[in-house]
Structure 1
Amino acid sequence: MKKYNILLLAVFVVGLSSAVSAKGLSGVVLDKRSGIYWQDTLDSKESSEDWDDAVAYCDKLELAGMEHWRLPTFKELFSIVDYKRIKPAINPAFDFTEEGTYWTSTTFAPNVSRAWTIDFRTGKSFYSYKTTNHAVRCVRDVPEVSAKENK
């Protein structure tokens, strides 16, 4: 399987300094900057699914009383890479991370039978056949709070 590194590091390397464990929500990390919840459970460390099953797993996930989870985009998953760390190269807000490759929802444009992945041993990105098994970490958008509710 051919793998290519993305050379867009300067575009996507942003710290997750606003990542915190969501109060009262077990198994969830909140990224205030991007407005998404991240799954952080033993399943996100031990999962191994092909791409279609990864999409289905996130779609069916109920975590911390919340539904509507999804597979993260390449940009979202890449945002939690921390190059100051290795094995795993991930923001320390996360407790459960496989030292391996995770799926993104982003299909590899030149060949739709492949999708982008990120290897958290090193933080490098690759594309992989969708029939290959990789780890899964789901995300969920944080619902917007209306202006009335903030008053």
Structure 2
Amino acid sequence: MQLSKAVMLATVVASVSITVSCSSPGNYADVPYNYIVDPESRYQISQDGMIVTDKHTKLQWMRCSAGQYWNGSECRGRPSRMEWAEAKKYAESLNYAGHDDWRLPTNVELTSLLYCSAEHPNLVNGSCVERVYYPSIVPSVFPATYDNKYWTSTDADYDRYGSSMQDNYNKVWAVSFGYATVYDDYGKGNLAAVRLVRKSLW
């Protein structure tokens, strides 16, 4: 399914059913938003512990950030921070866990990993509000996640409110899993961490 041109971001919250609808630029993966999220049943970890499959979105994620490695029980090392062009090249050349089709996620895909800890969460332009505790991702599934920005592949043609930003050709969307913050104009020359994604085969 291709979403119409719209800025569509969703915050995924444990045990809370949310519905999001808006419109945005670009083509996005088929990411469903209206479901009850239970981390215990939503994510499936591969036998070697290196890949996480999201059973709702049918996306597969690197469990550790780029620069880290899975040692059998945890992600070791420090996440690599790189410029956007370097992150694209890294994805294109990577063969990880037997797969070579890894890529940078779209803003919608990466935001689907946000985990808000508020008891009564709201959705404000893709970011968590009310009480948000660090980290804003399920740590048992994605351990040692960097507490600042991660790259997406989505150009900053439109901001989070749907307004055109045609002069922002050197900027993209980024997501921070420290306190669930979404950025719609992060410069490609800055540094950010990388978590790659691929489509599941089932």
With the shorter chain as reference, the TM-score category is 0.7 to 0.9
Q: Give the superposition deviation at 1:26.
A: 3.1
Residue in structure 1 matching 2:100, options 63, 67, 83: 67
Which residue number corresponds to residue 124 of structure 1? 181
1:90 pairs, out of 137, 140, 143, with 137
Gaps in structure 1 of 5+ consecutive residues:
1-6, 145-151
Q: Is the Cα–Cα contact under 8 Å of residues 86 and 120 in structure 1 kept in the other structure?
A: no
Q: Indicate conservation of the 8 Å contact 2:116/2:180, yes or no.
A: yes
Structure 2 equivalent of residue 51 of structure 1: 84
Residue 125 of structure 1, CA deviation: 0.6
The Cα RMSD (Å) is 2.0
Between the aligned partners of 1:61 and 1:25, the Cα distance in structure 2 is 18
Alpha-carbon deviations, 1:59-96, whole Å to 9, x = none?
A: 21211111100000000100001111633211231113
Look up the match of 2:44.
20
Q: Which consecutive aligned stretches of 4+ in structure 1 deviate over 6 angstroms post-superposition? A: none
TM-score w.r.t. structure 1 length?
0.80
2:64/2:142 contact within 8 Å kept: no
Local SS of the residue matching 1:12: coil
Give the alignment of 1:103-122 within 5 angstroms: 103-109=151-157, 110=165, 111-122=168-179
Q: Which residue in the other structure is 2:110 paired with? A: 77
Contact 1:102 1:118 in 2 (8 A): yes
> Could you report, residue by residue, the CA deviation over 1:8-58 in whole angstroms, capped at 9, with x for unpaired residues?
6xx512345311212x24321111111111111252651101111111111
Greater RCO (CA < 8 Å, at least 6 residues apart):
1
- SS at 1:46 equivalent: coil
Instruction: Indicate the percent of aligned positions where both proteins have the same amino acid.
Output: 29
d(CA) in 2 for partners of 1:64, 1:124 = 29
Change (3 A) 1:96 1:27: farther
Number of residue pairs matched by the alignment: 135
Tell whether the 8 Å contact from 2:114 to 2:180 is kept in structure 1 after alignment.
yes
Q: Give the structure with the larger helix fraction.
A: 1
CA contact (8 A) 2:53 2:60 kept: yes
Normalising by structure 2, what TM-score?
A: 0.61
State whether residues 28 and 64 of structure 1, in contact with CA within 8 Å, keep that contact through their aligned partners in structure 2.
Answer: yes
**Corresponding position of 2:194:** 136
